[in-house]
Amino acid sequence: MAKETDKAKKYGAEAISVLEGLEPVRKRPGMYIGTTGIDGLHHLVWEIFDNSRDEAMGGFADRIEVVLLPNNHVRVTDNGRGIPTDIHPKTKVSALETVMTTLHAGGKFGGEDSGYKVSGGLHGVGASVVNALSIYTKAIVHRDGSVFMQEYSQGKKKANVKKVGSSKLQGTIIEFQPDEEIFESTEFNFDTIINRLKQQAYLVRGLRVTIIDARTLDEKIFKDIDDVFYATEIGFEAPSITYYFEGGLRSLIRDLNKFQKPVHDTIFAIEKNENGVGVEVALQYVDDIADRIVPFANNIYTPGGGTHITGFKTALTRLINTYAKKNNLLKESEGNFTGEDVLEGLTAVISVKLPEIQFEGQTKDKLGSTEAQGAVATVFGAGFENFLEENPDEARQIINKSVLALKARKAAKAAKDSVLRKGALEGMTLPGKLADCQTRDASESELFIVEGDSAGGSSKQGRDRRTQAVLPLKGKILNVERARIDKMLASKEVKSLVIALGTSIGDTFELTRARYHKIIIATDADVDGAHITTLLLTLFYRYFRQLIDAGYVYIAQPPLYKIKRGKEILYAYTDEEKLKIVGNNPDMEEAEPIDGEEIVEDTETEEEEVVTKKKSNKVSIQRYKGLGEMNPEELWETTMDPARRVLKQVVISDAEAANQVFETLMGNDVGPRKSFIQSHAKMAEIDF
C-alpha cells in the first residue's frame, strides 16, 4: 500500500478545480471520446484507468485492478488516496460528486497545491464523461477510515454521497455500464484492453496491473462485490493476467523485439529531467527495413507523434552523421544520412512527462508542447552520444546498418524514378490488363483487384463501366514485408497496381492523386485467395498506409452458395445463411424447413450439390469456390452491385498490433510464424 505523504494530506476538496458543466457530453460525445464506435467505447476504460494510473505516477498507488463484469459493466480499482469526499468550496456539494458530474473538474488544474504534478488527464473530463455516457455508474471511495458511495445514471446523481461503512484501506473504485443509446456496441474486447494496459505497466515502474474477464460468470457471484476492495477477494475463477515490470522501457524494447534479430545486443536507455520535463528514451536496432517508434506523453500513447518525436529524430540524425564522419565510417562521396536512413530497423520508445501538457485534440493523439522538443533533443542527444563513444563495436554496427539503408534508398529511388519516368514518357500509360472506368471523378470510382484472367473476364463484363475498373492479377504478388521499393517495382504485377492507383509511392506519395476512392480486393474463397488477400494487405499496410487510413481499401465478400428453389434464386454468404434458407439446420430450432420437403444429400458430386425434393419445388445448392465460376450477371448481382454487395472496410484500430501480426505472418523468421499458427489453429475455419 502506498504511503501517505504531506502532499497526500493536502489533497482535499480545495484541490479540485471546476471549469464548466457537463451538459454537452451526451449531445456531442464524439467531441470528448473521438467516436461512438468500438474505439470510443474502450476510451471510457482508458479515461478511468488513466485516473488510477496518475495516482501511481504520483507515488500514491501501486496496484490497479480492471474487471470486465457481466452485462458489460467495468470495475476499476486503485489503492491511491481516494477521491476527496468533503464539501467543495465552490460547488457546495461533495468533491466526489463534483468530480463525477462536472466537466473539467479534477485534481489536475490547481498548480502546486493540486492533486498531481504530472498527469495525462489535462482536459479533466475522464470520470465525468464516462459517467455522462453510461447508463449506470457507481463510485466507492475508501478514505479517512470510512467508505463512501454514490450512484449515477447518464451523468446525474441518483442520491447524495453517503457513508456506507468503515475501512482501514484507501483508494477508489469506479464501476460503469456504457449506455447502449450512445454506443454502436457495448461489448468490450479483452485483448484490446490487455494490450493497452500492458504498455502502462511498462511505463510506471513498480505498478501492478491486473485485468480480469469475468463476463461469462453468473451475476450472483458478484452480488456482494461492493463489500470487497479488489474483486479477486470474492474467490471466483476467470481469465486474468497481471503485469509488473521493473525494467521500464528496456523491458518494453525487449518485448517489441522478441521476434527480431538485434543488430547490437545492448539496449540504450536514458532517463533524466531537463528544465522540468522528464525524458525517458530506450532504443535498439534490429535486422529489419521498417522502424517502430512508440511515443508517450504523460504515459498516454500518442500515435500521431508530436514535438517529442521531432526532437528525438532531429538529434538521432545529427548524432549518427557526426559519429560516422568523425570515425570515417561514411564516405564523403556518399553524402549524409537522411532521417529515413537512420530510422531503418530502429525500435524506440520515447516517453516524456510534463507538468503542463498540451495535446492536439481531446483524444490526445499528438503532443503539442513545444518544450518537449528541446528537452528530448538535449537529454537523448547527450546520452546517445556517450553510448556511441563508450560502445564502439555496437556503434559501428549501427552505422553500418544506416550505410546499407542509404545505399538501398539511392537504389530504390533510381528504380522508382525509372518507373515514373517511363510512365511520363508514355503519357502515364495505364497497365494494358486494367479495364478502367469512364468517370474521372475519383470519389465515385472503384477499382476491383481480382485473381486471374477468368475472374477478370467475368468482372469486366459484369461491371458498371462508368464507375468500376477491374485489374486482374496473375498469381500471387511479391511478399513486400521484407522487400525494398526497387525489388518491389521489379515485380510486374506490383508495378501495374502502383501505376493504376495513381498515387505514386514512397516519399512522392500523394493521396490527392488517388484515382479511386474504393479499392476492393476480390479474391476466391479458398486458401490461395486468402493468401493473395494477405499479400495485398501487406503491400497496402507497408507502402500505402494512407489509403487505409483514408478508408479507401475494402475486401469483397462474394457469396459461398447459389441456391435455386424452383424459379427463385438466392445467395448465401455463410453456412448459417445457407442452412436458414434450406431449412436443415440442426443447431437452430427456429430454422423452419420448407413444407413437405425431403432432404437428400448427394456427397459425390464435384459441385458439392445438395438436392432437395418437394412436390412442386426443387432446391439445389452450388458451392462457389472462385469468382471465375460466376458468370457476369451473377458477379454483378452478388459482388459488384453497390445496392446488394457486401464489402468489409479495412481499418487499423491498433497499429502496433497490426505491425506485429504482419511481421509474424509475412516475415522471414519461421519460428514466430509456426508458433502463431499453432496457437490459432483451432480458430481456423477449414473448408473441405
Q: Could you say which of 179, 274, 524, 597 is catalytic?
A: 524
451 is catalytic: yes
Contact (Cβ atoms closer than 8 angstroms) between residue 15 and residue 113: yes
Q: Which residue has the cell 556511441?
A: 388
Spatial separation of the C-alpha atoms in residues 55 and 108, rounded to whole Å: 11
* Sheet containing 618-623, strands listed edge to edge, beginning at the edge strand earlier in sequence: 568-572, 561-565, 618-623, 610-613, 598-601
Q: Enter the DSSP assignment of 106.
A: B
Which amino acid appears at position 578 of this protein?
Answer: K
Q: How many CA atoms lie within 13 A of 370 on its CB side?
A: 0
Q: Where are the alpha helices (DSSP H) in 597-641?
A: 632-635
| Helix-, strand-, coil-residue percentages of the chain, each rounded to 5 | 40, 20, 40
Q: Which residue has the cell 469483397?
A: 556
451 φ/ψ angles, rounded to the nearest 5 degrees: -100, 110
Phi, psi of 94 (to 5 degrees): -55, 140
Within 426-470, where are the H helices?
Answer: 452-462
Whether 227 sits among the annotated catalytic residues: the reply is: no
Task: Report the SS3 class of residue 4.
Answer: coil
**Catalytic one of 213, 451, 629, 663:** 451
- C-alpha of 260 from chain center: 21
Identify the active-site residue in 181, 191, 390, 526.
526
Residue 75 corresponds to which cell in the numbers above?
Answer: 470495475
Q: Is 528 a catalytic residue?
A: yes
Q: Is 376 exposed, middle or buried (0-12, 13-18, 19+ CB in 10 A)?
A: buried
Strands 647-649 and 553-556: what pairing?
antiparallel
Are 147 and 128 a contacting pair, CB within 8 Å? Answer: no
Catalytic-residue membership of 524: yes
CB of 533 closer than 8 Å to CB of 555: yes
Catalytic residues: 451, 524, 526, 528
